[in-house]
Structure 1
Amino acid sequence: MALENELGIPDEAIDLRFIRSGGPGGQNVNKVATAAQLRCDLKLWPALPERVRVRLRTLAGRRLTSDDVIVLSAQRFRTQEHNKRDALERLGEMIAQARIEPRIRKATKPTRASKERRLEGKQKRSDVKKGRKVSHDW
């Protein structure tokens, strides 16, 4: 499997099975196992940095089993080859996303000028609303 090697995943960490696809498709769907189920076992991938592993678990969400295995199902296409490629590409995108280091937010306080601008805007709005009031001099 060439694409796994491009991603840097060891072959033993990837398990690819073909299952019957659901949905419309008539006789082809009932007879041929075209949907791809890709399982990536994170325990069998020791070279994966821990920080990437943690983000990958978060990104996987429901697709992560309690055994630390990411399960992706691909059944958009009518052929095994297309679905296999689709599952591998989706896993690659997930890994690429996990490798991106998130920016750490630095807490800042609003400047004095920005506070003044905000209060000025509120006062202008208040004046506009006051101008709409109907005064009755009975």
Structure 2
Amino acid sequence: MTAIPVTRSISIDSDELEESFTRAGGPGGQHVNTTDSAVLLRFDVGASPNLPVAVKNRLAVLAGSRMTREGVIVLRSEGARSQLLNRQEVRERLIEMIREATIVPKKRRPTKPSKAAKARRMEGKAKRSSVKSLRGRPID
């Protein structure tokens, strides 16, 4: 049971990660047909005691279709020919996703344009209107 550091205050246990290995698709010759180099990582967000509720909620939004209805994030890596490299890559992706979920988004404060800004806008519209009206045929 080793802890994987995510941020200074959050770490997840390696026991919370469930990894399974399958054969990777694509070209690669005879070696590919005999080794299970692709990694499928499953992480149960709801059952993780180390994540705060707010982080779990943001993580669910970030994960999108990579999260099942049961609240399990499923990530797959088969880019490298080595199982070890694929394991490292998929774990890094999960950690980066959790780090991104720890960032609290700033609340948007609605603003209104100032009176001077409104006046400048109306002045610009009036100038443009006069330019366009002068493009017409001259009146006798």
TM superposition score normalised by structure 2? 0.86
Moved more, 79-88 or 96-105: 79-88
Report matched runs for 1:1-138 at 5 Å.
5-7=4-6, 8-135=11-138
- Measured on the aligned residues, the alpha-carbon RMSD in Å equals 1.9
Q: C-alpha displacement at 1:131, in angstroms?
A: 3.0
Question: Structure 1 residues 28, 133: CA separation in 2 closer, same or farther (over 3 Å shift)?
Answer: farther
- Partner of 1:134, secondary structure, is coil
* Structure 1 residues without counterparts, runs of 5 or longer: none
More strand, by proportion: 2
Q: How many residues align?
A: 136
- Partner of 1:27, secondary structure, is coil
Structure 2: distance between partners of 1:14 and 1:71:
10
Structure 1: distance between partners of 2:62 and 2:99:
11
- Whether the 8 Å contact between 1:13 and 1:42 is mirrored in structure 2 is no
More helix, by proportion: 1
Amino acid at match of 2:50: A
- Whether the 8 Å contact between 1:12 and 1:44 is mirrored in structure 2 is no
Identity %: 45
* Structure 2 residues without counterparts, runs of 5 or longer: none
- Partner of 1:71, secondary structure, is strand
Structure 2: distance between partners of 1:96 and 1:71:
17
Q: C-alpha displacement at 1:58, in angstroms?
A: 0.4
Q: Structure 1 stretches (4+) deviating beyond 6 angstroms? A: none
Q: C-alpha displacement at 1:102, in angstroms?
A: 0.5
TM superposition score normalised by structure 1? 0.87
Structure 2: distance between partners of 1:17 and 1:85:
13
Structure 2: distance between partners of 1:79 and 1:67:
30
